[in-house]
Every structure is written in C-alpha cells, then in structure tokens.
Structure 1
Amino acid sequence: MTNWINTVSRDHVERGVRGRFTQANHGKPHMLRKMARGDWIIFYSPKAVYPDGAPLQAFTAIGRVADDEPYQADVSPDVQPWRRNVDFLDCVDTPIRPLIDHLHFIEDTSRWGYKFRFGVFRIDDHDREIIRSAMVEATAAARAGEETTVNP
C-alpha cells in the first residue's frame, strides 16, 4: 500500500468528493497509473478556487483508491480526463501549518511548500497517519461542537 498526496484546489477536490473520483496533473494518466486499489490519497489545496482563488493551505480530503485501473471520463468532446475512483472518509479542511514540524516529507520548514509543486507525490505511513488523524479528529471536534450547539 502506498500513500499519496494530490495537490488540487479545494473547488476541484469538492467536485471529486461528490463524484467519488480523483484526477491528477490536469487529467493526465501517468501518476494515476502508479496508484493501486487500497492506496491512501490525501488532497492538499493551496487555494480555495483554481486558478486565482484565495490561499487556503489545507488538507481538504482523504480517501482510498477504489478501483484497479485509471479510466477516461467523457466530460465533453474536448475534455476527457483520466480518473480513479476513491472512497472518501468524512473529514474537514485541516490547515497544514500546525503539522509542518511533524511531517517527514517536508525537508526544509522554511520552504515547506516546495514539495507540493510536484502535484502528486508519495509520503510515508508516519505522515499519512499524522494528516489522517488531524483530519478525523477535527471532524469529530466539529461534530461535537455542532451537537452541543443544537442541543445545549
């Protein structure tokens, strides 16, 4: 099992979560072919909206690859991106800054955003668990807050 980070604006991540899929590198298949069923994939969103949205710098979704091969979607005659199906976990946006000092893939904390320029890249189990835990704990805390607000 491999752990991946896919760098995608939040608006595009939200479309993928609704449709239960991911794309990578502007719809190209190369990195998607390296993924296998059961691999973890975490989405990092530098911006809220592509291309000129407000900075976000947060992990915005996490899931597991749910198919065996990439497939080409027929969005329109001119747009046929490659995709993988993903089973997403319930989570909330989780800012990266509090996690930077704990992540192995960040080699230089003064240039922490450098790695995300590659679009899709591998991370180790330690980093996956740091990010997954933060996203799931934030989700539980948000739910607890909602329940407290609804039922004081």
Structure 2
Amino acid sequence: LCHGKEAPLKKMKTGDWIIYYSPKVQLNESTPYQKFTALGRVVDDHIFQFDMGNDFIPFRRKIDFMECRETFIHPLISQLSFIKDKKYWGYSFRFGHLQISEDDFKVIKEEMTEMKED
C-alpha cells in the first residue's frame, strides 16, 4: 500500500475493507496489468514494519484476505463513481490510497467474488 508508507495505514481501522489495484505487472516495469488483484479486511489496529530485504522495510497491517479472482478494471469504469473522468480514469489512482463509496466497493467486490468460468 503506497510502497509501504505508514500514513495511509493509519487512516484505516479494524473492520475496514481494502481492495488492491495493480496498474502494472511489476513495480519497475511498464507492462500494464490494470486489474483489481486482492480483497481483504483489516484485522486489528496494529501497524508494524516488515523487512523485505535489500534495505526495504515497509509498514504493514494484518489483513484477512478473501479468496477472489483478479478483475480487469475496464468493464467497471462506467459504474464507479469515484472515477470522475471516464476518459482519464487512471488519474483517480494517482495518490495510491483512496476511500471509495460503499456502492463502488460492492460493484468491485461482487465482480471479484462472483463465481464465473474463465
């Protein structure tokens, strides 16, 4: 979440939901991915640091992740109210952490957890 910054994690509380959006396949690559990739719920109020190696020690929170399927954002853009400009939809993610409405959450969660044959 925001490359391990502490501030966004402090805004969350126990019971809050989190949806991860992955714009690229890997951090330092340009290959687009553009999918919602994980869905979970905040377990407690404890924020901690975790040594990932190579002098990278990001802040983390314990999340109870649900089983879900990765979901392309493109079919959902027209339904999501937090995306104000549908043409430049990626702009909505520029800060890396944002709160969305319950309705938007339900649209994404339903798509990620609905059982469909791929």
User: Which of 117, 124, 132 in structure 1 is aligned with 2:94?
Assistant: 117
Q: How many residue pairs end up in the alignment?
A: 118
Residues 42-90 of structure 1, C-alpha deviations (whole Å, 9 max, x = no match): 0111111111052111111101011212111133483221101111111
CA RMSD of aligned residues (A): 1.5
Residues 97-145 of structure 1, C-alpha deviations (whole Å, 9 max, x = no match): 11001001000101111011110110010000000000011xx214xx6
- The answer for the alignment partner of 2:26 in structure 1 is 49
3-state secondary structure, aligned to 2:98: strand
Unaligned runs of 5+ in 1: 1-23, 146-152
User: Which of 72, 75, 84 in structure 2 is aligned with 1:98?
Assistant: 75
Measure the CA separation in 2 of the matches of 1:82 and 1:127.
Answer: 27
Measure the CA separation in 2 of the matches of 1:85 and 1:114.
Answer: 28
Unaligned runs of 5+ in 2: none
Measure the CA separation in 2 of the matches of 1:52 and 1:134.
Answer: 27
Could you state the TM-score of these two structures normalised by the residue count of structure 1?
Answer: 0.73
Measure the CA separation in 1 of the matches of 2:59 and 2:116.
Answer: 35
Measure the CA separation in 2 of the matches of 1:32 and 1:84.
Answer: 7
**Contact 1:45-1:60 at 8 Å conserved across structures:** yes
- The answer for the alignment partner of 2:84 in structure 1 is 107
- Sequence identity (%): 47
Amino acid aligned to 2:26: V
- The answer for the alignment partner of 1:87 in structure 2 is 64
- The answer for the alignment partner of 2:111 in structure 1 is 134
Amino acid aligned to 2:106: E
The reply on whether 1:68 has 2:18 as its aligned counterpart is no
**Contact 1:100-1:109 at 8 Å conserved across structures:** yes
Measure the CA separation in 2 of the matches of 1:95 and 1:52.
Answer: 18
Larger-gyration structure (1/2): 1
Could you state the TM-score of these two structures normalised by the residue count of structure 2?
Answer: 0.92
Amino acid aligned to 2:50: A
> Which structure 1 residue ranges, 4+ long, deviate > 6 Å from structure 2?
none
Amino acid aligned to 2:62: N
Measure the CA separation in 1 of the matches of 2:52 and 2:28.
Answer: 20
